[in-house]
Every structure is written in structure tokens, then in C-alpha cells.
Copies of this chain bind each other. A is one copy, B any other.
Amino acid sequence: MLKDVQVQVDAWTQQFKIPYWQPLEILARLTEETGELARELNHRFGPKKKKASEDVKDVGDEMGDIIFTLACLANSQRIDLDDCWKRVMDKCYGRDKDRFEKK
């Protein structure tokens, strides 16, 4: 699943002389992209309402940029995001199985 995302990112970045930035540089980019998502969400759901609430395309674009940035960080550090994802799901059904009130 997430492997496909990582492979597609690597195919694009390997065209360039410097395929991946340094970890703290990628983190700064992630902070920037998270900020852009925050701005979109405040425009739509907060006090800065400027946009129709049915139009969530821009929110999705910012989420796409965050996923791209995460894939760069993962590839640069040879981290397998599907493994990470499996551990998240294991935690949900293990440690966090009664975390919220059930239906």
C-alpha cells in the first residue's frame, strides 16, 4: 500500500543530483506543509471562513503534500512505511482497544 507511494516518490527524486534533503530540512518542510493545511482548515472550519464548506479540494492537496514529505523522509532513512503502519494498527487493536466509548 504505502510502498507504492514510496516507490513513486523515489522514481521522481532519483532524477535529481540531490534526491533527498537532510532530515531536519525535510522536517522544516513538513512543518511548512502542516502550516498550510492549518490555514486551509481555519478558512473552512474556523473563524477565517472564506470558502464554501463543500469544497475540500484544497485541504486534500495539502494532505497530499504532507504524504509526499513523509515519503521523502522515509525513503531517505530507508524506513518501510508499511511496517510502521502495521505497528499503528497493532497498537489500535492492542493498547488502544478500549480507549474511546464503544457504540
Contact = CB atoms under 8 A, between A and B. Distances in A.
Interface of A: 1-2, 4-5, 8, 12, 14-18, 21-25, 27-39, 41-42, 44-47, 56, 59-61, 63-68, 70, 73-74, 77-81, 83-85, 87-89, 92-93, 100-103
Give the residue among A18, A44, A89 with the most B Cβ atoms within 10 A: A89
Nearest to A16: B100
Contacts of A8: 89
A24 B46 contact: yes
Contacts of A73: 59, 63
A61 B66 CA distance: 16
Given A12-B93, A17-B102, A46 B25 contact: yes
A17 B56 contact: no
20 contacts: A2-B5, A2-B67, A12-B89, A16-B100, A16-B102, A21-B47, A22-B45, A24-B27, A24-B42, A27-B31, A27-B38, A28-B41, A30-B34, A31-B35, A32-B39, A32-B42, A56-B78, A61-B84, A61-B87, A67-B84
